[in-house]
Each structure stands twice: as structure tokens, then as C-alpha cells.
Amino acid sequence: MAARKRASTDSSAERQQPKETSQSKPQGSNDPPIAPPKSGVILKLSFFFLVPYFYLIFYHYKIDSELKKSILINAGLSLAGFFVTVKLIPVASRYVLRRNLFGYDINKKGTPQGTVKVPESLGIAIGIVFMVLAILFQYFNFTADSNWLVEYNAALASICFMLLLGFVDDVLDVPWRVKLILPSFAALPLLMAYAGHTTIIIPKPLIPYVGLELLDLGWIYKLYMGLLAVFCTNSINIHAGLNGLEVGQTVVISSAIVIHNIMQIGASTDPEYKQAHAFSIYLVQPLLATSLGLLSYNWYPSSVFVGDTYTYFAGMTMAVVGILGHFSETLLIFFAPQVLNFLLSLPQLAGIVPCPRHRLPRFDPQTKLLTGTNDGTLVNFFLRQFGRMSEKSLCIYLLVFQAIACFFCFLLGYFLAGWYK
């Protein structure tokens, strides 16, 4: 959230910060450049993901060469996107600061770091890189009459619309009850163009009771698609507020998605099924690469913030691939921590319990440790369970929990294979 926004809506303590307006002297020109990217973290994270991923692509499965070629071209483009992102963020940071789009790091309040203007909404920079990559990629994969082309472009329209609405939210500070429904507008291009099936497979153990193997849900299926988009975007946005958490969770989930896609492609013989999962890879690889570039600046201590532009964009991209790849039930298990956070948040979101502007832990400037509050978030829940800890440790704990949820999903898939569908 930008200073323009915060000046009108934040708690009294934050209101003591000097009020910035768009009419005031342009900021940015005198601000020091942002800290260099934290390449070490990115290298370690990429290593964990790339080893199993490329092992599956090159050795474990026999993937047909055409499909493999498309995936690798997309990976190459994504790698280029990573480097462009790393170069672009410091430049974009200067521009957003000049327009007073910055935030103060709430979990550093009372220390010198808490007074630094941190550039906000850098999601806009990586969103643009993502869009360029995703648009260019069509040249390498699709033929002009491909059915996929329609849905692919509808998916891009939804993601781009979400990027716009996220940026609007960052700049204008839309009331949060309104911003909850923004993603349902952004999902419209996809819902209108969707020509795929609207049936669900009834789990084998339930077939005797339902009496059907396939159930056509019709318009209810489209409603479900819209709700999934609303859930994925908002659940990323409200599991936030710690340096590196917004992007970190996206990196973990996206890694799980592409590994899941490769496993499905490798195990299947149905060309349409493979295409659906390849489609997901084509959008998630660029998301992962650009997010890693962003994380190199957003990791603790953050030199940039991502804004709702990023949380909405990332959530929408994952929702879109879950819908068009037909693996939304798997996606929801990857999102287990977000589901938990959402359930914990319900009393505050529903207005049953008072809800402060930022439901963050309490920061002690002396010890630099965080203490959990009674606000219903997973962040506070972890602090209450595991005791006081630093912001960085807490973020790592939460990301490991996210990775465990994804791993559990793979185990579940392994044990339920054949029994469930």
C-alpha cells in the first residue's frame, strides 16, 4: 500500500509519519539507490526446485520431443525474464518513489530501518515482464487455428486485467470489502471464453451412491471458476505483511505446480490431458522466474514491497492455470496454509471481531523479535505456538510449512492413485 493510501487509513501511530501528497515535491531523486539483489537466497531456493524438476524432465519420464522443446524454450524465455526483472526493479523503484508510492516497514518500527521509504507496488514491473514473455511465447508454440490460442489469450486478458485492478487498488486504496470482489471482474474474460467441459469426475468410492461417473455442473462450474479466482487472489493477499512472504509463498506453490504438471504429463498418454498441463507450465514458469527476480529484492530485509498488484496478479495466474489445466483440487491442497489463514481470518473479515488495518504481530525494537497478537492470522498463530522469533525466521517457518503442504499433496496423490479416480 502506498503512502497516499496510508495517510488516510492507517492507525494513529502511522499517521504521525509526515503526510505525503501527490502535490508535494517529487521524491526519489534524493533517495539512495535500493540495496543489491540477494542472490544467495535465490540460488539456494532455485537449487531445491531445479534439481527435481529437471531430473523429472530429462531422466525420469520419456516426454515427447516436441513438447519438451516447447517447455525448454519457455524455460529459456523465463530465465531471460529473470535477468530483465533483476535489472528493471531498481529502475522502477526510482519511478514509483518519485510518485510517492512507498510504504514503511511496519515490522521494523522504532528502528532506523522503519523510517526508510520502501518503494511499493513493484508487482507492476514484473507483471509487465511476465505479460511480454507470455505473449511472445505463442510464437514458439501455437498454430494460428489452435483451440488453445483462444483460452490462452483469454487467460492472459484475465491476468492483465487483474494486474490493472491490483495497481488501481495500490494507488487509490479501494475499501477492502470492494477489493475482495475485484478478482471476479478480472476473471470475466476467462469465464466468457471458456469452452472446456463443465463436468466433474465423481470419486470412485462415491459412484454407487451418486449413480453417475461424470456430473455436468453447467453454469455452477463457471461460478466455481469465478470463486476460485476470488479465493486464490485474496488468500495470497491476506497471508502477508512479513518481508518475503507474499513472493515466497508464490515461489513455493508455483514450483509445486510445475512439478505436478510434469508428473501428470509423464504419466499420461492422453494428448489433450498433456496439453492442459503443458499449458499450465507455459504460464507458471514465467511466473516463477519473474517472482524469483522480485524475491531477490523483497527477501528480508526488503528493499522493495510488492503491493496488491503482485498478490492479485500471482493469485490470478495460479487460479487460471488450475482452471484451464483441470487440477484445481490439487491446487487447493497446495493452498492449504492459505485456506487455514482464511478460516482463521473469517471472524475479522465477517466483522464479528474488530479488524485493524494491518493484522500484524507486535514488534519489539529492542530485541527485534515479533510477538503474536490475537488477530486471526496464521502469522500470529505460528508466533503463539512457537514463541517469539525474528521476522526472517518466521517467514522461513511459514514457507517450510507451505512446502510441507505441497509435499503432503504429492504423497496423497501417490497413495490415492487408482482408488480415487
Cβ nearer to ligand UD1, comparing 82 with 305: 305
Tell which residue, 368, 364, 346, has the closest CA to residue 355. Answer: 346
34 binds ligand UD1 (CB under 6 A): no
Cβ nearer to Mg ion, comparing 237 with 264: 237
Span from 34-42, 104-112, 247-255, 277-285 in contact with ligand UD1 (CB under 6 A): 104-112
Please state the closest distance from residue 389 (CB atom) to ligand UD1, in A.
15
Cβ nearer to ligand UD1, comparing 98 with 222: 98
Cβ nearer to ligand UD1, comparing 108 with 326: 108
109 binds ligand UD1 (CB under 6 A): no
238 binds ligand UD1 (CB under 6 A): yes
The C-alpha atoms of residue 398 and residue 248 are separated, in whole angstroms, by 9
Span from 46-54, 237-245, 280-288, 403-411 in contact with ligand UD1 (CB under 6 A): 237-245
Per-position x/- string for 204-223, each x denoting binding to ligand UD1 as judged by CB under 6 A, each - no binding:
--------------------
Span from 18-26, 147-155, 234-242, 384-392 in contact with Mg ion (CB under 5 A): 234-242
290 binds Mg ion (CB under 5 A): no
The C-alpha atoms of residue 278 and residue 204 are separated, in whole angstroms, by 26
Q: Are strands 102-103 and 118-119 parallel, antiparallel or unpaired?
A: antiparallel
292 close to 283: Cβ distance less than 8 angstroms: no
249 close to 336: Cβ distance less than 8 angstroms: no
Q: Which one of 130, 148, 305, 334 is in contact with ligand UD1 (CB under 6 A)?
A: 305
Cell of residue 352, nine digits:
464479528
Please state the closest distance from residue 122 (CB atom) to Mg ion, in A.
13
Contact partners, residue 202, CB within 8 Å, separation at least 6: 210, 212, 213, 214, 215
Please report, for residues 44, 122, 221, 290, 344, the alpha-carbon distance to residue 38 in angstroms, rounded to integers and kept in the order given: 11, 16, 43, 14, 33
Please report, for residues 61, 73, 303, the alpha-carbon distance to residue 312 in angstroms, rounded to integers and kept in the order given: 34, 27, 20
Q: CA torsion angle for 152, 155, 156, 159 (degrees, to 10)? A: -160
Residue ranges that bind ligand UD1, judged by CB under 6 A: 1, 103-107, 120, 176, 237-238, 240-243, 302, 305, 308, 345, 358-360
Interface ranges with Mg ion (CB under 5 A) = 237, 308
